[in-house]
Structure 1
């Protein structure tokens, strides 16, 4: 009780403290840990006011070790608790707690306000009541240490008798104004067959060159040092040993130091780096901070001696598989093609040769990975011709890679396997990894692994572009004067009642393969019909290039007549077709299977209410008379308006024509009318331009004439070909 405190106040203070402890119990029983910790901090502050340092220390020390604020990144609260704990520990003479708090508060994560010390070795200079020399042990997962460490093996696998490169990267996140830290030693602990490594500080070590980004690279030479045997080693009659290296362990704030070392691999099995222990020897205390590599969230990288680094993308870079000896079984791919294509089934023939001196029991595991982020996982099969019961099939929804049992393989024997990939729909690059796992018949406990990998570039054999243009349809249009028009169709009749239209789709496809391919067929597939339209027929036009080899980068064409019709005559909506181009092809080799590549076609618009002018060209078949060309123009009015058109055929010095030079045509709604001309050309072997000008009298709009079969067009209109005279 302080002198200023009256006796009447004591019961009320005791009651208040009891209520705080009761609140802590209630919050902890209800799993409200944040609230419980907040009340604990409040209780500690009340104890500090009463100068009950030991009681406050008993409250604050477990709070500092286990508070959720640190795990959740509430650094202001973490720093506040640490600062209060340090003040209490100084008063209570708890030197170990003072050192532990100072180690955490050295981190640049916390505020840069002046604190009690920025030199960790002087943490106890202001503590007068410490008894003895504290030995502090900190777990990196329980505090926010300013030293972070990662450990990476260069390779995922190694072999007995060979050295294995590895790197320990240590980064100091100490505050800018803090003093450099010199560790006495760093001990690396392994799980498995690797011996522990200790790097000791040496004042005689060569000064480390600081590279860009405040990094340094050091190669540490290791030597084996035998020490006192532990209990297990004594039972086995073995002497324990440690790999020792000496290097400067001086760490500047913000510096990353990379220690590269080479460890000998002497025992088969799996080894994993578990932790790094930083040991600090100060005049007034000793400290060890244990950093477990599995709890480090920074990315694992491999540093080179030059100022460069690369990210390690292995799933577990802290571990290494140590193989007993180099495998003598071989994996050979047979008859690989230079290029594989989409929509083509792929068979990878594999020969597995047993070069061991004795019989082996083997299994084959296949993994397929794609370089593209959007590429799908592939289904595949592993077929063993000599053991069909061992065949396995992999589906993309399975998490583990399939493994086919190859059985027993005698020395110097070969067994065959086939990896069958289904047709791949999109272009991508796949890496196929084969892992042959086997055991010698004389040593079934020691696995041996042989790995082989290939990259398959899956390319598209064809690319195409398209022309889609209207053609003159010979089918009749509905008539208002026909009493049968508009009647519902019978069950056997076609249900489309709209205006019939004919279109021509020209597909120009180019061969992007690295070899000649034989195109067997080209067709169209209807994916969907949009806007109330029916596609009554698709007629492929004759194609003389089918069945012949198409060379790389060569161009070929296929033409299709597409007949469409609206389902209802009153439907004025726009309509479209979704089609795809199907190219059936095979390699130019005996017994090559046929494949079908599917190429997308942009959406095709097939209905419009705007008037248009279509053409049709035919040549005179009478070879004894002068050449006469028959031009037929059709003016269509698919709208619901009465339209009047002015029609003018302009003269041309390359041909004479018969027909109305100038006329006026009136069209009812949903009607069309044809105009015919006979052309007598006076040139041969040239393109000529018949210029028919059709003008909408009301809107004064000139309609563009659509070219028909055997014609082409440019900005000025259509062109027709006048063939040369036959010799």
Structure 2
């Protein structure tokens, strides 16, 4: 904004004059030239306050100066009483600007006719368009002098400082009173409504000098100053905090007074604007001369005044409204832009005023955090001004318009900087290469609520940081430079050397608004130190600095590249190196493979050769080998002589690069033949180098290649001239000075690959990884070393084989080809299991045959150990079986000496667990070779044996009738006799399904009592004898047992819990080893005190009955029970016995009821137990009369069963049915 008058662009702050203090050293006296002798002079005769205390006080007053504060609402003004001011310490004298202009001169004759003309003539301001002496007369709108007058000359507040000396007496007070009255009278005489206040500095406080109170009272009464708002007393203060509090207390009081001053000026300007007629000057304009200011121009002038006064009051929203209206008036169809010819100086004055108002509009919006609104105002004004210049001016294709575009963008950048908006300072996190996080300010401010609620806004309408606007200014400056270079030769001459006709044409063709004439503009476009290129340099560097600070490094590098083009265009190669060297060294484009990097290399190479920088010439030439189009033709015909024409300091140029610093033109890859190897074995390695194919690329000869593989010895491949310059080369490595050295041809031709094969032998068991490959080129002028340490790029995907001169690629199976795992030397003693079955069964004793074979080249001796962990419930019982009893059952079994290719058979006996599962049996063979007795080798084999369940079992439990009589409840036992409990007989049925994969033989089956409750006994009885049974896979085997339980005491009524297991002795058909399988029977809880009804099929002794059913009602409880018995009629049979009956049972008793059944007719016979017959379903209902509980009838003998749906079923053989 330096092209504009400072008073047009500065933020307006209330002016406060400090009289009586030392002049401010920061005041540059720039307004002294505007001092007018006719103005009112303020002067005090009292001595100037120069004491240390006064200077300290002045510093606190000047600290309230807000000239350099940020232009935003958070900086100024803050809360009430913290408003910022423009503070000026002016000493003892100050001259105010005159308020009215002097009357125009008159002739003597006119004076005789009118003795006092000034009484009848209205006088106007010296800066008014109505005053003939004003530069605005008669049709100017505004001048910067008016803003400078209110900002620098006419204060809103005058504060006078006086020292009350204790030794002066009344004369000091009289001088103070005289000065105060004189200053107040001068302010009144000037017509300004400036407020006045006085500060009295005393050497003592009123407490220590009570007479000061009378002196203060006298001064206050004589000067008529208000003790609260006009007269302030400062006693001695010991700390800076007290002085600061005193100063802020003064402005707490005077701030409303200051604001009121500018409010009065606003009212005065608003009254003038509200007049119905246009003001007319006292002096009539001549015919043909400029006309008076139009009405709309007057409105624009008053809008500007109202906006400035609002800005003085820090009411930025009000100021923006007035400024916006002023711009509308200027661009109105009847406004000055449309009515003033473009060749008139008033047109440029109006443009200057319009630009200043637009700047203030944007500043007001930024002040109020209307970021997107400020950008729209900036953009809209640019569009309107361009349209105006295209219609009314010289057009927008001139260097003047490009200069305006640059100036407008720079102005926005400065406004953004001065605004210091919090939205552009809030940091955000950004990741960097080392995975850490840094704080980066945002690149643009988010839109305000008004725009955020609407549709998505385009990015260019959001407020970006200052670097964005400087970048726009750079583009406009470059356009200005080009248009300046396009100025015709006739217009390049100074006006003194050009004919008059050319000057006329030139004045009609060129717009010189705030720019130089065409001849001077052309001079700026050359190689001069101060010109367009220098401006481009300043703008580009400032923009790049802002962009880099916000993480936009690529955009900053692009700006530096464009600036380097401009420097190269004017042959300023030193500046090219200065600008491009940081971009080249830390280029994002190199890493991302952007095409722009090629242009960086070309410009740097050209500049380095012109300046004589051999290091940069070498570096750029080296990187350009991968893309020869980056350099000029012929510049890389021979890389080894690239710096022959450049002077080298020290004789030899040394360069050491890495992948992160420079791009290597040679592509290198490395691969191990396998991912694993053993100690002492040979491992093949392959290195491939290639140079990109290009017509102009030169042959590159490497002096040597160095490979670093983990902790292995360094490997150096040295160049040796031979006939094989490409293809696949086998290299024999030999040791020299602790390194492995090999010779090969390292001459690389464009588009060809050179492959080197060599072998390594590793002596330590560990992992080895390729760390780096270093390529070296050595000549008599330079030493270049490029280290490739990006392992991801060095990994080869294929292995190249030589097939009669043709390379055949074979894919590698391992993914990480630059790493190899070296394992310890492998043992060659083989352990194998002979005749391992697919599965074994729980409880089975297994015999495993193990064969140990010596595949070593020497005899071996050692031992074999089984290391199964036998802890836990599911542990295996394992033992070795041997002829020698010493080793039978031991975990360790010795191996006799085994000659090469000999075998030994060992037997391992394993007792299977009782639960199914998979068990691992580790076998460790520790042995030594006959030739290396101190080198222990170990071979491990882990046997996985599956132990499966042999049987799938189902069990049934049903009650049975015990024939023995029960003890009588009415018989008293003797004293020595204790009655046992009631015997209960139960029937346990089992159904086993074979899960074996082959037939098995069942030798025996029996039930084992695992557990029974206390005070109870249990006896197992077989129902029949079992012979050997052959059970095929999935075959079913059924077996039943009787279980007799009895309580130890007749008084024990608790249920009996019984846990049983079914023990089966079995063997395989092809094996004589007998095994035992234990099948657990689910836990059974047998009731002993519940009444029950048992039905048995008795043998018929009556020839008239087919079936005799005996129902036994048992009452094992200690209560008398009564039952209601009902036998239901059935169509299948007739019965003899009680149909309805009530039966009472004493405690510990049972009763039998017999029913004789006669079956009706003959039905279809079915197969059943004992032959053909049929099932009938008699129904007996037994109900406990007291509990109303129906007892279920249980089948307790042969020929009787329970059906789930029909109830009790009785088998009737076919031979007994009656017709």
> TM-score, with normalisation over the residues of structure 1?
0.55
Richer in helix (by share): 2
Q: Which residue of 2 aligns with 1:581?
A: 1062
Task: Confirm whether residue 442 of structure 1 aligns to residue 966 of structure 2.
Answer: no
Structure number with bigger Rg: 2
Write the distance in 2 (CA, Å) between the matches of 1:263 and 1:510.
Answer: 67
Kindly report which structure 2 residues correspond to 1:582-597, keeping only aligned pairs within 5 A, or say none.
582-590=1063-1071, 592-597=1072-1077
Write the distance in 1 (CA, Å) between the matches of 2:714 and 2:977.
Answer: 90
Q: Which residue of 2 aligns with 1:650?
A: 1128
Write the distance in 1 (CA, Å) between the matches of 2:1091 and 2:1068.
Answer: 47
Q: Which residue of 1 aligns with 2:842?
A: 342
Q: Which residue of 1 aligns with 2:1080?
A: 600
CA contact (8 A) 1:353 1:414 kept: yes
Write the distance in 2 (CA, Å) between the matches of 1:263 and 1:563.
Answer: 87
CA contact (8 A) 1:352 1:416 kept: yes
Kindly report which structure 2 residues correspond to 1:254-293, keeping only aligned pairs within 5 A, or say none.
266=761, 271-273=765-767
Q: Which residue of 2 aligns with 1:57?
A: none
Richer in strand (by share): 1
Q: Which residue of 2 aligns with 1:541?
A: 1023
Equivalent position to 1:378, from 876, 890, 893: 876
Q: Which residue of 2 aligns with 1:500?
A: 983
Q: Which residue of 2 aligns with 1:722?
A: 1212
Kindly report which structure 2 residues correspond to 1:113-132, keeping only aligned pairs within 5 A, or say none.
none
CA separation of 1:440 and 1:374: change in aligned 2, threshold 3 A: closer
Write the distance in 1 (CA, Å) between the matches of 2:863 and 2:875.
Answer: 23
Q: Which residue of 2 aligns with 1:696?
A: 1184
Q: Which residue of 1 aligns with 2:702?
A: none
* Structure 2 counterpart SS, 1:479: coil
CA contact (8 A) 2:731 2:758 kept: no
* Structure 2 counterpart SS, 1:676: strand
Task: Confirm whether residue 393 of structure 1 aligns to residue 890 of structure 2.
Answer: yes
Write the distance in 1 (CA, Å) between the matches of 2:873 and 2:438.
Answer: 49
Once the two structures are TM-superposed, the CA of residue 641 in structure 1 deviates from its matched residue by: 3.0
CA contact (8 A) 1:469 1:503 kept: yes
Once the two structures are TM-superposed, the CA of residue 633 in structure 1 deviates from its matched residue by: 1.2
CA contact (8 A) 1:712 1:720 kept: yes
Write the distance in 2 (CA, Å) between the matches of 1:308 and 1:556.
Answer: 59
CA contact (8 A) 2:1126 2:1180 kept: yes
CA contact (8 A) 2:866 2:923 kept: yes
Task: Confirm whether residue 671 of structure 1 aligns to residue 1149 of structure 2.
Answer: yes
Once the two structures are TM-superposed, the CA of residue 418 in structure 1 deviates from its matched residue by: 0.9
Task: Confirm whether residue 634 of structure 1 aligns to residue 1115 of structure 2.
Answer: no
Once the two structures are TM-superposed, the CA of residue 552 in structure 1 deviates from its matched residue by: 1.2
Q: Which residue of 2 aligns with 1:322?
A: 825
CA contact (8 A) 2:733 2:741 kept: yes
- Deviations 1:272-330 (CA, angstroms, capped at 9, x unpaired): 349998999xxxxx9x9xxxxxxxxxxxxxxx999999xxxxxxx98733227xx3x55
Kindly report which structure 2 residues correspond to 1:59-458, keeping only aligned pairs within 5 A, or say none.
158=678, 161=681, 189=710, 195=712, 239=740, 266=761, 271-273=765-767, 320-323=823-826, 327=828, 330-354=830-854, 358-368=858-868, 376-385=874-883, 389-390=886-887, 393-394=890-891, 403-446=892-935, 452=941, 454-458=943-947
Write the distance in 1 (CA, Å) between the matches of 2:1040 and 2:684.
Answer: 64
CA separation of 1:360 and 1:374: change in aligned 2, threshold 3 A: closer
Write the distance in 1 (CA, Å) between the matches of 2:923 and 2:1040.
Answer: 46
Q: Which residue of 1 aligns with 2:1008?
A: 525
CA separation of 1:554 and 1:158: change in aligned 2, threshold 3 A: farther
Once the two structures are TM-superposed, the CA of residue 581 in structure 1 deviates from its matched residue by: 1.8
Write the distance in 2 (CA, Å) between the matches of 1:163 and 1:581.
Answer: 63
Write the distance in 1 (CA, Å) between the matches of 2:851 and 2:1201.
Answer: 57
Q: CA RMSD in A?
A: 5.3
CA contact (8 A) 1:230 1:240 kept: no
Once the two structures are TM-superposed, the CA of residue 264 in structure 1 deviates from its matched residue by: 7.7
Write the distance in 2 (CA, Å) between the matches of 1:709 and 1:413.
Answer: 69
* Structure 1 counterpart SS, 2:1181: strand
Write the distance in 2 (CA, Å) between the matches of 1:264 and 1:656.
Answer: 105
- Deviations 1:666-695 (CA, angstroms, capped at 9, x unpaired): 112333222122334354511111211111
- Deviations 1:217-245 (CA, angstroms, capped at 9, x unpaired): xxxx9x999698677x9xxxxx599xxxx
- Deviations 1:622-676 (CA, angstroms, capped at 9, x unpaired): 9xx6774332211122333322111122233333333222211111233322212
Equivalent position to 1:708, from 1171, 1196, 1205: 1196
- Deviations 1:101-145 (CA, angstroms, capped at 9, x unpaired): xxx99876x8886699999x99x99xxxxxxxxxxxxxxxxxxxx
- Deviations 1:333-373 (CA, angstroms, capped at 9, x unpaired): 33433431110111101233445565332432445599xx9
Q: Which residue of 2 aligns with 1:463?
A: 952
CA separation of 1:265 and 1:467: change in aligned 2, threshold 3 A: farther
* Structure 2 counterpart SS, 1:725: helix
Write the distance in 1 (CA, Å) between the matches of 2:824 and 2:1122.
Answer: 87
CA contact (8 A) 1:390 1:406 kept: no
CA contact (8 A) 1:160 1:265 kept: no
Write the distance in 2 (CA, Å) between the matches of 1:700 and 1:454.
Answer: 65
Once the two structures are TM-superposed, the CA of residue 187 in structure 1 deviates from its matched residue by: 6.8
* Higher RCO (CA 8 Å, separation ≥ 6 residues): 1
CA separation of 1:649 and 1:272: change in aligned 2, threshold 3 A: same
Aligned residues: 486
Write the distance in 2 (CA, Å) between the matches of 1:566 and 1:703.
Answer: 23
* Structure 2 counterpart SS, 1:393: coil
Once the two structures are TM-superposed, the CA of residue 265 in structure 1 deviates from its matched residue by: 8.4
CA separation of 1:353 and 1:554: change in aligned 2, threshold 3 A: same
* Structure 2 counterpart SS, 1:426: coil
Write the distance in 2 (CA, Å) between the matches of 1:365 and 1:634.
Answer: 67
CA contact (8 A) 1:543 1:558 kept: no
- Deviations 1:489-531 (CA, angstroms, capped at 9, x unpaired): 57xxxxx73332111111111111111111122222222223x
* Structure 1 counterpart SS, 2:765: strand
Write the distance in 1 (CA, Å) between the matches of 2:857 and 2:708.
Answer: 42
CA separation of 1:724 and 1:518: change in aligned 2, threshold 3 A: farther
* Structure 2 counterpart SS, 1:678: strand
Once the two structures are TM-superposed, the CA of residue 409 in structure 1 deviates from its matched residue by: 2.0
Write the distance in 2 (CA, Å) between the matches of 1:263 and 1:688.
Answer: 96
Write the distance in 2 (CA, Å) between the matches of 1:695 and 1:388.
Answer: 72
Write the distance in 1 (CA, Å) between the matches of 2:918 and 2:1146.
Answer: 60
Write the distance in 1 (CA, Å) between the matches of 2:815 and 2:1131.
Answer: 76
Write the distance in 1 (CA, Å) between the matches of 2:983 and 2:440.
Answer: 88
Q: Which residue of 1 aligns with 2:1033?
A: 552
Gaps of 5+ in 2: 1-430, 442-548, 554-581, 587-673, 686-705, 716-727, 743-756, 775-786, 790-810, 1166-1172
CA contact (8 A) 1:580 1:601 kept: yes
* Structure 2 counterpart SS, 1:483: coil
Gaps of 5+ in 1: 1-103, 126-152, 166-184, 199-220, 234-238, 242-261, 281-285, 289-303, 310-316, 395-402, 491-495
* Structure 1 counterpart SS, 2:1087: coil
Write the distance in 1 (CA, Å) between the matches of 2:948 and 2:872.
Answer: 16
Write the distance in 2 (CA, Å) between the matches of 1:275 and 1:673.
Answer: 95
